[in-house]
Chains A and B, each alone.
Chain A
Amino acid sequence: MKENKLIHWFKYASPQSFYPLAGKMIPWFWALTAVFGLSGLWLSFFVAPTDAVQGDGYRIIFIHVPASWMSMFIYIVMACWAGLGLALNTRLSGMMAQALAPTGALMAFLSLWTGAFWGKPMWGTWWVWDARLTSELILFFLYLGFIALQAAIDDARRADKAGAILALVGVVNVPIIYFSVKWWNTLHQGSSVSLNKSPTMAATMLWGMLLMALCFWMYSIAVALMRVRAIILERETHTEWIKDLAEVKQ
């Protein structure tokens, strides 16, 4: 009796019911990605004015900040799924964590890459061992470590558990990145929105940045859902419901 209730509660925690649900959600998230992306790019390049100090070089902010935010946010979400998997032993949680890691790693890479391309003209250097930059680099390595650790363990459930511990321990790095500009004297600017003092200019810049952040957010959900569906197919290969799927039967 108790088991029946649990099954009801965790309905979408089962790969079998989550697989078709994710399939239905993916096109909507791609549509939102396109809408936010196109309007965000329009604001970034055609509405937001040239900055008084940084000229047009500041426009890198419109992808640098969204990529950096997503790299931290995805890590937290990934660690939550990993922790949930450890605590409740649900199959889907580990798959979600595994599906998020490559996208998070990509966001961390883009944050570092765009940061380097912004640092070169403004600071005169591609890279400095500064608190903000170094902690973001560590985040990138944590993602790579998580992916490598999972890939090194053949048994998927054991890989999930080992990865979950790494992911949870690594969470400590996220507040370090976030507060690094306050805790240490760094080259990196404190607040990203106060680039320009004029409030009207800041408004269009802020909106451009927020729309791009929403675009990156929707993109991350769409691509993670796509990846989790592939992982479900890979891991549940020998189950009956997979054999009965229309895309397998054809």
Chain B
Amino acid sequence: MNWGSPAEFFAMGGYALYVWGSFGVCAIALIMEPILVGKRRSEVLRSLRRAALADQLEDEGNKAG
């Protein structure tokens, strides 16, 4: 074990800014990317469902008319 206390861990031997600046940005990037891809997917699915509903309504309208 390298660290005597949590404070020592977060201080990173004086390199806190550099170590946490690297790991922090990495963590944010790797969490954000799948979230954005998920958003992209749900947007496509929403428009696909809308198109399907429009087709369905059109069919029903044709039958009624």
- Listed in ascending order, the chain A residues whose CB lies under 8 Å from chain B are 45-46, 48-50, 55-57, 59-60, 63-64, 67, 102-103, 106, 109-110, 113-114, 117-118, 120-121, 219, 222-223, 226-227, 229-230, 233-234, 237, 242-243, 247-250
* Inter-chain contact B29/A50, CB cutoff 8 Å: no
Q: Please, what's the 1-or-0 string for B13-55, where 1 marks a CB less than 8 Å from any CB in chain A?
A: 1110111011101100110011001101100110111011001
CA distance A102 to B17 in the complex (A): 27
Interface of A is mostly: helix
Given contacts A55-B13, A60-B19, contact A102 B45 (CB under 8 A): no
| Chain B residue at minimal CB-CB distance from A109 | B29
* Inter-chain contact B52/A60, CB cutoff 8 Å: no
| Chain A residue at minimal CB-CB distance from B51 | A237
- Listed in ascending order, the chain B residues whose CB lies under 8 Å from chain A are 1-3, 9, 12-15, 17-19, 21-23, 25-26, 29-30, 33-34, 37-38, 40-41, 44-45, 47-49, 51-52, 55
* Inter-chain contact A242/B48, CB cutoff 8 Å: yes
B-chain residues with CB within 8 Å of residue A120 when the two chains form the complex? 18
* Inter-chain contact B2/A49, CB cutoff 8 Å: yes
**A-B CB contacts (within 8 Å), total count:** 96
* Inter-chain contact B41/A63, CB cutoff 8 Å: no
Given contacts A46-B2, A64-B22, A103-B33, contact A121 B15 (CB under 8 A): yes
B15: contacting residue among A57, A219, A222, A227, CB under 8 A: A57
A-chain residues with CB within 8 Å of residue B23 when the two chains form the complex? 60, 63
Q: A121-B15, A248-B48 are in contact. List 9 more A-B contacts (CB 8 A).
A: A57-B12, A60-B23, A63-B26, A102-B33, A110-B25, A113-B26, A114-B25, A227-B40, A230-B37
B-chain residues with CB within 8 Å of residue A49 when the two chains form the complex? 2
A-chain residues with CB within 8 Å of residue B1 when the two chains form the complex? 46
A59: contacting residue among B12, B40, B45, B47, CB under 8 A: B12
* Inter-chain contact A233/B13, CB cutoff 8 Å: no
CA distance A50 to B9 in the complex (A): 12
* Inter-chain contact B37/A227, CB cutoff 8 Å: yes
What is the minimal beta-carbon distance from A239 to any residue of chain B, in angstroms?
11
Q: Show 12 residue pairs from A and B whose CB-CB distance is below 8 angstroms, ordered by the A residue.
A: A50-B2, A56-B2, A59-B15, A60-B19, A60-B22, A63-B23, A63-B26, A223-B37, A226-B37, A237-B44, A237-B47, A248-B49
* Inter-chain contact B45/A67, CB cutoff 8 Å: no
CA distance A222 to B52 in the complex (A): 29
| Chain A residue at minimal CB-CB distance from B16 | A56
CA distance A219 to B30 in the complex (A): 8
A-chain residues with CB within 8 Å of residue B38 when the two chains form the complex? 226
What is the minimal beta-carbon distance from A109 to any residue of chain B, in angstroms?
8
CA distance A103 to B34 in the complex (A): 10
Given contacts A59-B12, A67-B26, A243-B52, contact A233 B19 (CB under 8 A): no
